[in-house]
A and B are shown apart, each in its own frame.
Chain A
Amino acid sequence: MKHIIIGTGPAGVVAAETLRKRMPEADITLIGGEPERPYSRMAIPYHLMGNIAESGTYLRTAPNHFRNLDITLLHQHVNSIDAAAKSISLDNGNMLTFDKLLLATGSRPTRPPLEGMDLPGVVSCWTLADARKIIAGANAGDDVVLMGAGFIGCIILEALAQRGVNLTVVEMENRMVPRMMDDQSGGLLKQWCQSKGVTVLTSTRVKCITEEKGKLVVELEGREPLKVNLVICATGVRANMELADGLLDTNHGILVNERLQTSHPDIYAAGDVAEGKDFSTGGYSVQAIQPTAVEHGALAAINMAGGEDALHRGSINMNVLDTMGLISASFGLWQGVDGGDSAALDNPQRYRYINLQFEDDRLVGANALGLTQHVGVLRGLIQNQTRLGKWKHKLMEDPTRIMEAYLAQHVPRHGP
């Protein structure tokens, strides 16, 4: 069997390893478009802080990890897929054939369609190459604008602040991380950043960016323009679906079934590029998070290897974010459901906030700010669909008692 995996992020790497475990004899090729060894984008903020070298971002630490597993690792761009011939063509002119193909091509940052977004001083924060540009261009005393206070924007805030830049964050929505946290916690995050000396402009749009005497001029709607050295654009990402054009069914991502199989039976998709099953809604969506990428990668590989009953029950959408030391987390249906109940603990003075969302007596979603102990149990309660019974009311009175609620329902009275 010849397996080709395109993409060397977590989904691709886990898929290759899982395939090897299940198919000792198979021919496995892993292809990535970047020159570096497979690395984790999630580790980039810690590289920007100077906590780790570039090598600290590598997904696998052993120097010959892929060779040892007899996985061929290629650093090439894939130009196209010929589904009829079951082959792909590479940048270097080579053509490779496959029995099963996995697209784990990930996503890439988007830029708003504004004048000046293509100026050289405007960078994204996505790849190690981007990180090098930021390290070169964002140093003590530099004026920097960060466009977008979403997950990526927030997670690099601390690194930028630590680098000593004069930072202004410009966010279109009314709060920080609007797709992860509710009004109250997103607002508290903004307050926290302001208290740390970062200017955060929410409900603010960038009109355009121009160049003037070696500086970038960021024109804002209804405000004075900002003159800066560097603009970091973190306004969103979208799936890398070019290879699927005209070949596979797509929406926001490549459509897959419970086997992570696309509309072509021999082509699978996993990770950020795949519109996979969501545990909470039962529908399909692009989650673009690390745990989902890993689940997709493993399950796609099991199915590519002929696994019979390896069906995806759906991944829980969840995130954890450290914004200059204030930790926020979101799980599942944190916006709540129709006819459901919610419980909140709000302590803005201490930057502590918990919001639990229930459907009937089950937890279906949560937002938490300032919570670092036992936070994973929120996932456990959601994923187990734990019937909370009387503990629902206890949580409504005190949402911090999540761990007790879990133990009360899951640990038998008379020991295991």
Chain B
Amino acid sequence: MLMKSLYINPEKCTGCLQCEMACSFENEGVFNPARSRIKVFTFHDAGRFVPYTCTQCDEAWCMKACPVEAIVLNAATGSKDIINDRCVGCKVCTIACPFGTVNYNSASGKVIKCDLCGGNPQCAQACPTGAITYIDADATGLERMRLWATKTDTAHHAAA
């Protein structure tokens, strides 16, 4: 089955934060960018905006580091999903993820990360400029996106 993936093109981002609002509303029930799983970083000097969230990387550092099997592979979307009932809040995944995209939520005592909204990512739906799209994973850009920073393997990649 062909997986889809979030494809982010920072050049098209205007910093409107619609993605953060949509994410927070979909996942937390409130319009509050602070509760969003996708985050737009602003580079004032360069007049540049970079939306950033989990790339659902194959290494799945978070999933492997979890001591209680609370992060699982979603076979339908390829996302790595938190099982809230199992997460004890130990936060090991938050330091294991070298992309910094798993965060601890002190209100719930659990961690949160992007789960692609189960296959219909609201950030991509909300993005008015096409900076965030949800496209076939074999599109050439995806591999390059994943190469952003995946050369982080401590262990040999064969461990993946």
Contacts and interface: CB of A to CB of B under 8 A. Distances in A.
Contacts of B109: 51
B141 interface: yes
A294 B60 CA distance: 12
A126 interface: no
Contacts of B106: 325, 327, 372
A320 interface: yes
Given A299-B159, A415-B11, A416-B148, A380 B90 contact: no
Contacts of B50: 407, 411
A111 interface: no
Dominant SS among interface residues on chain A: mixed
B126 interface: no
Contacts of A316: 154
A329 interface: yes
6 contacts: A313-B153, A327-B91, A379-B96, A402-B100, A410-B148, A416-B9
B94 A61 contact: no
Give the contact-size bracket for chain B: 35 or more
A359 interface: no
B148 A383 contact: no
A14 B60 CA distance: 14
A291 interface: yes
Interface of A: 10, 14, 18, 40, 42-43, 46, 51-52, 56-61, 279, 290-291, 294-295, 298-299, 302, 307, 309-316, 318-320, 322, 325, 327, 329, 331, 372-380, 383-384, 402-404, 406-408, 410-416
A373 to B, nearest CB: 5
Nearest to B42: A404
Given A58-B68, A295-B159, A416-B145, A380 B41 contact: no
Given A375-B95, A380-B98, A383-B98, A313 B156 contact: yes
Which of B39, B48, B104, B154 has the most C-beta atoms of chain A within 10 angstroms of its own C-beta? B154
B158 A380 contact: no
A193 to B, nearest CB: 17
Interface string B59-73: 001001101110000
A60 B69 contact: yes
B154 A416 contact: no
A310 B159 contact: yes
Given A312-B155, A383-B152, A376 B97 contact: yes
B67 A384 contact: no
A299 B102 CA distance: 24
Which of A298, A299, A416 has the most C-beta atoms of chain B within 10 angstroms of its own C-beta? A416
B103 interface: yes
Contacts of B11: 413-415
A383 B95 contact: no
B24 interface: no
Contact of A61 (B65, B86, B90, B99): B86
Given A59-B68, A279-B154, A415-B10, A322 B91 contact: yes
Given A298-B159, A307-B158, A372-B104, 12 more contacts: A10-B67, A291-B61, A313-B156, A372-B94, A373-B100, A376-B95, A380-B149, A384-B151, A402-B100, A406-B100, A413-B10, A414-B11
A410 B149 CA distance: 6
B88 interface: yes
Contacts of A43: 67-68, 88, 90
Contacts of B100: 373-378, 380, 402-403, 406
Which of B10, B93, B151, B152 has the most C-beta atoms of chain A within 10 angstroms of its own C-beta? B152
Nearest to A416: B145
Contact of B94 (A14, A60, A313, A320): A320
B89 interface: yes
A37 to B, nearest CB: 12
Interface string B131-160: 000000000011011001101111110110
CB-CB nearest 7 A-B residue pairs: A377-B100, A380-B98, A374-B100, A416-B145, A40-B67, A415-B9, A376-B97
Contacts of B145: 416
B88 A52 contact: yes
B101 interface: yes
Contacts of A42: 67, 90, 92
B8 interface: yes
Given A40-B68, A384-B98, A313 B155 contact: yes
Interface string B26-48: 00000000000001010100001
Contacts of B103: 372-375
Contacts of B142: 416
Given A372-B104, A414-B11, A416-B9, A46 B95 contact: no
A268 to B, nearest CB: 14
Contacts of B65: 290-291, 294
